Amino acid sequence: MAVKISIIGGAGFRAQYFLRISEALPERFQIISMVIRDLSKRITMQEQWRVPAYHSLEELLKYDQPDFIVLCVSGSQSLDYLLKLAEIGIPVLVETPPAPDMLGLELLHDKLTLTGARVQVAEQYQFHPVQEARLALIRSGKLGVVTETTVSISHLYHAVSLIRRMLGITFEEVKIKAMRFESRWVNGPTRNGPPEEDRMIPMQRDMAWLDFGDKLGIYDFTKDQHRSWTRSNHLSVRGERGEIFDNRILIQQENTVPLQMDMKRVNRGEYENAEGYFLQGILCGEQWLYQNPFAPARLYDDEIAIASCLAKMADYINGGSEFYSLSEASQDHYLGMMIEKAIISGETVIADRPYWAK
């Protein structure tokens, strides 16, 4: 039976991910209603997606009883909704970041985490197929103890979440050095779509080194890099016995014979294959590192990752384990803010164990 979901803030681009996923996987996820305060947007979204839309949470709850709510509002707006939903007892999957600043993050810990509110955070990057494959290889132990990772994929808390996952870091103290390099490059796609003209624009590349003592995370990101046609995303992981460099895997075995392998995406629907077009999984040699749990739905990687958040949330509200808690989301946002502080100050910044980890 499909899990029943309502969305608050249903007119934004993030909310439409959930609507597309529900449309592609109706047997698993059913969006039953939305809260959209703006009247014109409410009418447009209701007509486009054929989902009832209401002016307020109170109005929605008169008509619907969702299994959980997806909260797609800004960090500054989310706190009031989170407190209200916790009081009512409705589980929430909230977007990143869950609060805009340290005061808000600490308040979430006091008012929600410590009181047992059922809240998880929709941080999807760790659930991208390629990241799931890399993490599976790390968990296999073939790299030995992992000590370094470089993440050049997305901004601040998204990247920090991957750094912590790849290194196996929780809430440890970290020393952060950072810098900003300014240059010009050709404009490319943004959230609003492809460029309408070819022109040069100023750009900032931010780099940070997160020293956890025995482990090192390197952050490297330029605005809109993850959408760019002329800049590549990159992730590497180094362990005692080998490394992952994007899709390339190098390992020295105990018999001293080196392994050199590639992670290969396997798509159906290519050439003469008539099974439909979808990602089946990611192979490494003879082993599946990742198999798409939503096949044969036609979803792209970011949608697969967000669908994973929905599936894990459905498990969580039925007694399953946490998958990305408020404490973890707070930690990643905290370290992201500390990276920005190190960039602006030009000094080494110490990020202590935070309030929610003590």
**What is the band of 24 on the pLDDT scale with cuts at 50, 70, 90?**
very high
Structural domains in the chain, sorted by start: 3-124 (3.40.50.720), 126-317 (3.30.360)
Q: Phi/psi of residue 300, each to 5°?
A: -85, 170
pLDDT at position 274 is 86
pLDDT in tens, 214-256: 999 999 999 888 888 988 999 999 999 999 999 999 999 999 9
CB-based contact 162:135 (threshold 8 Å): no
User: Residue 350 in 3-state DSSP?
Assistant: strand
Whether pLDDT at 321 is above 80: yes
For residue 26, whether the previous peptide bond is cis, meaning omega lies within 30 degrees of 0, is: no
Token code pair at residue 329: 């989301």
CB-based contact 31:5 (threshold 8 Å): yes
Which amino acid belongs to residue 189? P
**How far does the chain reach from its first CA to its final CA, in angstroms?**
40
Beta strands in 36-126 (DSSP E): 53-54, 68-71, 92-94, 119-121
pLDDT in tens, 120-160: 999 999 999 999 999 999 999 999 999 999 999 999 999 99
User: Residue 49 in 3-state DSSP?
Assistant: helix
**What is the band of 11 on the pLDDT scale with cuts at 50, 70, 90?**
confident
Average pLDDT over residues 321-344: 97
Strands 234-239, 146-152: pairing is antiparallel
pLDDT in tens, 171-208: 999 999 999 999 998 998 888 889 989 999 999 999 99
**Residue 92: CA count within 13 A, CB half-sphere:** 27
Question: Which residues lie below 8 Å from residue 88, measured CB to CB, with a gap of 6+?
Answer: 61
C-beta neighbour count of 219 within 10 angstroms = 25
Predicted structure pTM score: 0.95
Question: Which residues lie below 8 Å from residue 33, measured CB to CB, with a gap of 6+?
Answer: 6, 7, 51, 52, 53, 54, 60, 63, 64, 66
